[in-house]
Amino acid sequence: MSEKIRSILSPRSATGFSLPATILLSLGLGSWCYMFIVARSAGTSRIAAWIVFAGIMALFFQLLRTGQVSKYRRYFFVAIALLFFPEFIAQLLETRGTMMLGAAEILKTETPYCHIVTSVVLLPWLFTGKIVFPAGTGAIASMLIIWGLATLVIGRGWCSWACFYGGWDDGMSRLARKPLLKIGVANKKIRYFGFAMLAFVGLASLGTLLPVYCDWLCPFKIVTEFGAVDSLRSYVAFLMFVLLFFGLVIVLPFLTKKRFQCMSFCPMGAFQSLLSKFNLYRISIDKDKCIGCRICSDACPTLSLSLPETGEGKRVPIVTSTCTRCGECMTACPKNAISYGYVFCRGKSLFGGWREKLAGKKGAAAAALRGITGTMDEVLSARALFVYSGFFIGMVFLSTFGTGTVNRLIRLVVHGSFLMK
């Protein structure tokens, strides 16, 4: 094989994927993307569908070829957040005429149900059998299914690959070059504050049988919907939403370069951490490659790489359950010691043994077999399948509101109006 062909087929970096593996994985994701996004669209929204499709596939392709998981994941994740809220708000304006939720809308129990509500209503549901949130049972069931499947597959990776709110503070945390306010991983209370929030919203909701977080504490109300501002109570609540959004989602992530809202405030993030163990994937640190420099724990946006308190020699970080599997530590590590891995079989490749046996053999057949087994190992690697799964789940959300927003933007340019009616 000529050098030129070999260089085209080979990965572009030490952590990148070869071209054959990239194509295989892209074909897999691409066919589902086509089905979920393009095939379901018609008319002018088909153009928007193709744009969204192209965007997703371009990011996925680049991620695989370059191996820069954190960078392209972040673009994808921020895009999910930025494409979600315009479509959501536009639909509210079209159907209801306002972003505000009045008593009549609550009465109809058609309030949109997001995944965060699950952490709020779980305890009351366990004890009373009723959901203390005015949403349709179909909407609740569908969100439970989507979130449940995603959690089983990628664990707390939901918080870095799928959550349509997380892209806000993820994006804001990357804007500044350096943190203006330093928060170290030693500050456990900041990391565990999310669990305190989970306990708080769960118990308060249980004691009052009201969705306390949604009524008072959700920072994302002002980019989705909020109760009609027509009384002292609702004014105070609205003020809290504004302060929490700007404080936790915009300002603090910008100043600290940490994902403050997701790390320390979101009760659902803490809940996902409790469930993250029931998952095939792990973030593993190769102790032999690790030099104990702790760059990874500083880079982690959720302070999830904690350092052992005692021990001689180099202190290899421990990946805690709050890890959102964003890949920032992998990018930061100067020795490529951190990667996605499977439970029970870290560092083992399926076909590694066969390639060792074929290593010294010459001939086209041996070369082809080496190539095929190498490609299969790449495709079956934890890194490949985790990234594929994360993109797929994020794509499911983009298939609904992503196309909608892009369609509306096209409409804005062509017709001068963002709304359909």
Partner 1 sequence: MKNIAKIIIPLAALAVATALPFPFMFMGPLMDGVQKTLRIEVDPRFSGGEVLAKFLDPMDDDRGEGGLVYPDLPAFRGKKVLDIVRYTVRRPVLNTAGGDSPGYWQMDVTLAETGNPLNAPLGFSLPVVHIYIDVDGTEGGSTRTAQADAELVSFDPAHPWDYLIHIDGFAGDGKGYIVSFDRAYKRPVEVFFVADTKTIHARVELDDPGIKRILDGRPTYHYVVVGAFDPLAAGGFIPVIEKAGPRNGGGARSTLTPRIYDWVQPEGSNQEHILSSYDQSSGAYATLVPLEAKVRPKGKDSSREESAKRAAMLLATYKEKLARQSAEAPPPDAAAAVERLLAQGVGGIGLVQAYYRAQMFEKAEETSRRILESSPDQAGAATYLAMAIARQSGQQKSPMKSMEFVTRAFAQFDKAFPLCQTPDELLTLYLERGRYFAAVPESIFRKSAAAADDYLKAATIVKQQGSSSDRSALLADCYINAAKAFARSGNADEAEIYYHKAAEFENLTTEQVFALLERGIVPVALRR
Partner 2 sequence: MIQEGLLLGLSTGSFCAISCAPAAIPFIFSEKIDGWKQNAGLVGMMLLGRLAAYIGVGFLVGALGGYAVRYLDPEIQRRLLSVSNTLIGALMIASGLMHNFPGLKFCRKFQSVYRPGGGSFLYGLFTGLNICPPFFMAASRVFGKGDGWSGMLYFAMFFLGTSVYFLPLLGVHLFKDRLQTVRMVARLALILLGAYFFLFQGIFYGSVGRFQ
Residue span 366-395 as binding mask against partner 2, x where in contact by CB under 8 A, dash where not: ------------------------------
Shortest distance, CB of residue 217 to partner 2, whole angstroms? 9
Distance CA 200, CA 123 (A): 11
10 vs 20, 28, 32, CA distance in Å?
Answer: 9, 20, 26
Q: Is residue 128 part of the contact set for partner 2 (CB under 8 A)?
A: yes
Listed ranges 248-256, 284-292, 315-323, 377-385: which one lies at the site for partner 1 (CB under 8 A): 377-385
**Residue 98 backbone zone (phi > 0: left; psi -120 to 50: alpha; other: beta):** beta
Half-sphere exposure of 197 (CA within 13 A, CB side): 25
Nearer to partner 1, 36 or 84 (CB): 36
Residue span 59-88 as binding mask against partner 1, x where in contact by CB under 8 A, dash where not: ------------------------------
Q: Is residue 186 part of the contact set for partner 1 (CB under 8 A)?
A: no
Q: Which two tokens stand for residue 271?
A: 């809940």
323 vs 25, 188, 328, CA distance in Å?
Answer: 25, 14, 11
Listed ranges 3-11, 218-226, 249-257, 379-387: which one lies at the site for partner 1 (CB under 8 A): 379-387
Residue span 90-109 as binding mask against partner 1, x where in contact by CB under 8 A, dash where not: -------------xx-xxxx
Q: What angle is formed at CA 337 by the lines to CA 334 and CA 341, rounded to 5 degrees?
A: 140
245 vs 183, 190, 210, 212, CA distance in Å?
Answer: 20, 18, 22, 17
Q: Which two tokens stand for residue 170?
A: 């993820």
Distance CA 7, CA 89 (A): 47
Interface pick for partner 1 out of 134, 179, 247, 371 (rule CB under 8 A)? 134
Shortest distance, CB of residue 30 to partner 1, whole angstroms? 12
Interface pick for partner 2 out of 130, 188, 335, 361 (rule CB under 8 A)? 188
Listed ranges 30-38, 50-58, 143-151, 210-218: which one lies at the site for partner 2 (CB under 8 A): 210-218
DSSP 3-state assignment of 100? strand
Residues that bind partner 1 (CB under 8 A): 28, 32, 34-36, 39-43, 103-104, 106-109, 124, 128-138, 140-142, 144-146, 149, 153, 208-210, 215, 227, 231, 233, 280-281, 342-345, 348-350, 379-382, 385, 388-389, 392-393, 396
